[in-house]
Amino acid sequence: MTAKTFDTIIIGAGQAGPPLAGRLTAAGMSVALIERKLVGGTCVNTGCMPTKAMVASAYAAHLARRAADYGVTLSGSVGVDYRAIKARKDKVSNDARGNLESWIAGMDHCTLYRGHARFVTANTVRVGDDLLTAEKIFLNTGGRASVPDLPGVNDISYLINSSMMDLDVLPRHLVVVGGSYVSLEFAQMFRRFGSEVTVIEKSPRLIAREDEDVSAAILSILENEGITVHLGADEIRFAKQGNEIAVTFTAGKAPAVGSHVLLAVGRTPNTDDLGLDKAGVEIDKRGFIVVDDQLRTSVPGIWAMGDCNGKGAFTHTSYNDYEIVAANLLDNDPRKVSDRIEAYALYTDPPLGRCGMTETAVRKSGRRALVGLRPMTRVGRAVEKGETQGFMKILVDADTKEILGCSVLGPGGDEAIHCVLDLMYAKAPVSTLARATHIHPNVSELLPTIAQELKPLA
When computed from its CA atoms, the radius of gyration of the chain, rounded to whole angstroms, is 24
Our answer to whether residue 116 is catalytic in this structure is no
Strand arrangement, sheet containing 2-5: 2-5, 130-133, 124-127, 117-121
Q: Which one, of 131, 138, 94, lies nearest residue 115 by Cα?
A: 131
Full DSSP string of 327-374: HHHHS-----GGGPPPEEEE-SSS-EEEEE--HHHHHHHT--EEEEEE
Classify strands 256-258 and 244-248 as parallel, antiparallel or unpaired. Answer: antiparallel
State how far the Cα of 275 lies from the Cα of 122, in Å rounded to an integer.
10
Contact 337, 324 (CB under 8 A): yes
The residue type of 423 is L
For residue 317, the tally of other CB atoms under 10 A from its CB is 21
State how far the Cα of 314 lies from the Cα of 236, in Å rounded to an integer.
28
Residue 391 makes CB contacts below 8 A (sequence gap 6+) with 213, 217, 373, 374, 375, 376, 407, 409, 410
State how far the Cα of 293 lies from the Cα of 336, in Å rounded to an integer.
5
Residue 444 phi/psi, 5-degree rounding, is -70, -15
Contact 66, 58 (CB under 8 A): no
State how far the Cα of 263 lies from the Cα of 176, in Å rounded to an integer.
6
Q: What is the DSSP letter of 170?
A: -
Catalytic residue among 116, 173, 230, 440: 440
Beta strands in 242-301 (DSSP E): 244-248, 256-258, 260-263, 267-269
Q: List, by residue number, the catalytic residues.
A: 440
